[in-house]
Structure 1
Amino acid sequence: MNEPKTCVIVYTDGGASPNPGLGGWGAVLVSPGHGGLERELYGAEPDTTNNRMELTAAIQALRALKYPCRVELHTDSTYLRNAFEKGWLERWRRNGWRTSGKQTVLNRDLWEELWELSRTHSICWHWVKGHAGDERNNRCDALVQRAKEEFLSGMSPAAPA
């Protein structure tokens, strides 16, 4: 893949309460090449887990990109970041979606979609400590809460197509 010219900074977050339970995800996309233009995305699901929502946030953010980009993706999920940075995802795929302990990989459907999306973009994965004052991580967390509140009030935020 040729190195994409456009850079997008992405922050994502997801959560479920209880876990499993009502979940929400949020993403903030920043386009430095367009004057720092920001776009917010969020959604909710009624019966899910924290990890599924973390993966969904990244998927929805990457889906929103209309062409291949250089992506600086920030997440407070070590599960998400380490799957790429430590090569877990590649090993799971090679091992027939089995972990090193021979267990079935959870959330395979989302991992497969995220793998495909990650082939389109040049992604640098960054971990940020959650609830530690990072402005955009906090904004994503607020979007997660908003998604769940809207879902409960019947507004039902849907994932973008």
Structure 2
Amino acid sequence: MKRIAIDMDEVMADANLRFREWYERDYARRLTAEEMHGKHYKDMVLPEHRELTMKYPYVEGFFQDMPVIEGSPEVILELSKKYEIFITTAAMQFPTSFVHKYEWLKNHFPFIPTTHFVFCGEKGIILADYLIDDHVRNFKRFTGQGILFTSPHNVHETWTPRVNNWQEVAALLL
């Protein structure tokens, strides 16, 4: 059985929406799609807000109850019938995220065994046929095929294959 490694944030869990929610909460300012297009978080916000907003992922609760990216549970369930699925999330830089990410995965993806949750830093250590991720840098040392999941910060990255949603993942891998 072939193996698929899947990133969590911005692929399964909508970290962009959480960032925008907290930014609006703290600064009463809603980020537009145009402000987000082609930008990383630090470039989306006003310069005077950067210091605080760049700390969001380190704050207890940031990763708790994130919205699910549309289509991910259904497509991943179908993929799990054909592939061995591992969730590979870069949690090492955000130590307060472990429990929340673990609980989120158990809640939204109960069909994935907890033994297939991989909390890592360097994704190049993952042995899989495919890695679905929103960061091209994670494909650099990965020996399988990287599949770039579109997110506002990576729209200008050149990578093939690229998918824009979970329906495109299904078309590619099912």
- Normalized against structure 2, the TM-score is what? 0.33
Normalized per residue, which structure has more strand? Answer: 1
